[in-house]
């Protein structure tokens, strides 16, 4: 009897199951559609997180309309400047695990990440430039030239940080390193008005004129020497060093600054005017004092 009832009801059970399954897929499809549509309204990381959770637990209908809708949703998220690249990558992986072919896709950084990435590249380029100059300076004759790096000299107006200082009996050089141009290099142009610009990858834009920075350093170093070592009477010379060997310079006649490429720096220093001379003991004492202001010794001052 029971078996007869079960057999009789079996078609209805099967039909009911199919209808429930189709209804579930229909509702899931509607939910996905609504979720994708809502992504375009004030897109936030929280919205994308919720969307990723929804996609994970939803069975995707194998239909071009559904796939295209999901691709459009992903593109919307990927192109948004407000969404973190980590969430974009998570969404991409979830969609691909569901069988969606996104093609050769590149995850786009958001505005903050692009800014941080740019600042990081600038820092890395600056550090690489300082290493280039530091390497060059170590080939100066050590019996004549004494070299310091990352020197922070106090001053009553404001402490100043020097990339490099080279001391000799003939002159004291403070060097400001610039690493413009990136991996491919560029062209620095100094206009007749003294404005600096950089041409890089067919784009030209203004860059900071280092004149004021060098002048500040010049004053701080001269004030320090005049106060602590008044008997030293040799030139104090500021030099802007272009550390990127692939970057060229035009318009040097339009600036009062001394600008040298790193591969010409040692030649310039070693061939500087030697008419004036300080005694070696004074230079040694100055070197010892300035050494206290280097990064590794600063805490001990």
CA distance 13 to 249: 83
Q: Total structural domains in the chain?
A: 2
- What ranges in 58-110 are assigned the alpha helix state H? 64-78, 85-97
Asked if 279 and 183 sit in the same domain, the reply is yes
Give me the mean pLDDT over the 179-200 stretch: 90
Asked if 268 and 135 sit in the same domain, the reply is yes
**pLDDT tens per residue, range 18-41:** 444 444 454 555 666 666 666 766
CA distance 294 to 296: 6
CB-based burial, 101-115: b 16+ in 10 Å, e otherwise: eeeebeeebbeeeee
* Residue 291 belongs to a domain: yes
CA distance 291 to 163: 13
* Residue 120 belongs to a domain: no
Closest CA to 52 of 30, 27, 29, 77: 77
Asked if 258 and 164 sit in the same domain, the reply is yes
Give me the chain's average pLDDT, please.
84
* Residue 121 belongs to a domain: no
- Is the pLDDT score of 190 beyond 90? yes
Asked if 153 and 275 sit in the same domain, the reply is yes
**pLDDT tens per residue, range 54-94:** 888 777 777 787 778 888 888 888 888 888 888 888 888 88
- Is the pLDDT score of 104 beyond 90? no
CA distance 186 to 244: 9
* Residue 114 belongs to a domain: no
* Residue 116 belongs to a domain: no
* Residue 263 belongs to a domain: yes
Among 108, 142, 158, residue at a domain's last position: 108
**Element counts in the chain: helices (H) and strands (E):** 8, 9
Which of the pair, 182 or 157, is modelled with greater confidence?
157
Which of the pair, 160 or 51, is modelled with greater confidence?
160
CA atoms within 13 A on the CB side of 281: 1
**pLDDT tens per residue, range 36-50:** 666 766 788 888 888
**Cα-to-chain-centroid distance, residue 174:** 26
**pLDDT tens per residue, range 192-208:** 999 999 998 778 889 99
* Residue 56 belongs to a domain: yes
Asked if 46 and 175 sit in the same domain, the reply is no
- Is the pLDDT score of 271 beyond 80? yes
pLDDT at res. 24: 45
- Is the pLDDT score of 296 beyond 80? no
- Is the pLDDT score of 290 beyond 90? yes
pLDDT at res. 87: 87
Which of the pair, 133 or 102, is modelled with greater confidence?
133
The overall pTM is greater than 0.75? no
Asked if 53 and 132 sit in the same domain, the reply is no
Which of the pair, 214 or 45, is modelled with greater confidence?
214
Range of the domain at 266: 127-300
Among 44, 74, 108, residue at a domain's last position: 108
3-state secondary structure 122-158: HHHHHHHHHHHHHHHHCCCCCCCCEEEEEEEECCCCC
Give me the mean pLDDT over the 162-183 stretch: 94
pLDDT at res. 299: 44
CA distance 258 to 173: 11
CA distance 79 to 187: 33
Asked if 195 and 65 sit in the same domain, the reply is no
* Residue 118 belongs to a domain: no
Asked if 164 and 233 sit in the same domain, the reply is yes
Residue in the block written with tokens 């062209």: 187
Asked if 104 and 180 sit in the same domain, the reply is no
CATH number of the domain within which 264 lies: 3.40.1350
Asked if 74 and 156 sit in the same domain, the reply is no
Q: Is 182 helix (H, G, I), strand (E, B) or coil?
A: coil
Among 108, 138, 172, residue at a domain's last position: 108
Contact 149, 164 (CB under 8 A): yes
Asked if 144 and 242 sit in the same domain, the reply is yes
Asked if 209 and 265 sit in the same domain, the reply is yes
């Amino acid at each position: 009897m029971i078996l007869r009832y079960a057999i009789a009801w079996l078609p209805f059970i099967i039909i009911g199951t199919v209808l429930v399954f189709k209804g579930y897929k229909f509702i899931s499809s509607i939910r996905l559609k609504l979720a994708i549509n809502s992504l375009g309204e004030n897109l936030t990381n929280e919205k994308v997180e919720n969307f990723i959770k929804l996609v994970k637990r939803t069975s995707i209908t194998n239909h071009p309309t559904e796939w295209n809708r999901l691709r459009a949703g992903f593109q919307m998220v990927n192109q948004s400047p407000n969404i973190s690249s980590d969430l974009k990558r998570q969404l991409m992986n979830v969609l691909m695990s569901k069988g969606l072919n996104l093609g050769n896709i590149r995850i786009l950084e958001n505005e903050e990440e692009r800014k941080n990435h740019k600042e990081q590249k600038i820092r890395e380029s600056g550090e690489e430039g300082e290493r280039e100059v530091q390497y060059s300076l170590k080939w100066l004759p050590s019996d004549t030239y004494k070299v310091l790096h990352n020197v922070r000299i106090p001053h009553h107006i404001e402490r100043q940080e020097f990339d490099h200082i080279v001391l000799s009996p003939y002159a004291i050089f403070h060097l400001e390193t610039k690493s413009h141009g990136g991996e491919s290099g560029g062209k620095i142009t100094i206009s007749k008005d003294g404005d600096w610009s950089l041409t890089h990858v067919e784009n030209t834009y203004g860059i900071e004129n280092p004149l004021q920075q060098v002048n500040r350093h010049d004053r701080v170093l001269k004030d320090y020497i005049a106060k602590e070592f008044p008997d030293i009477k040799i030139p104090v010379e500021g030099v802007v060093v272009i550390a990127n060997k692939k970057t060229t310079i035009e318009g040097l006649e339009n600036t009062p600054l001394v600008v040298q490429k790193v591969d010409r720096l040692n030649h310039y220093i070693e061939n500087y005017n030697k008419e004036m001379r300080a005694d070696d003991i004074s230079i040694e004492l100055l070197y010892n004092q300035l050494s206290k202001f280097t990064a590794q010794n600063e805490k001990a001052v």
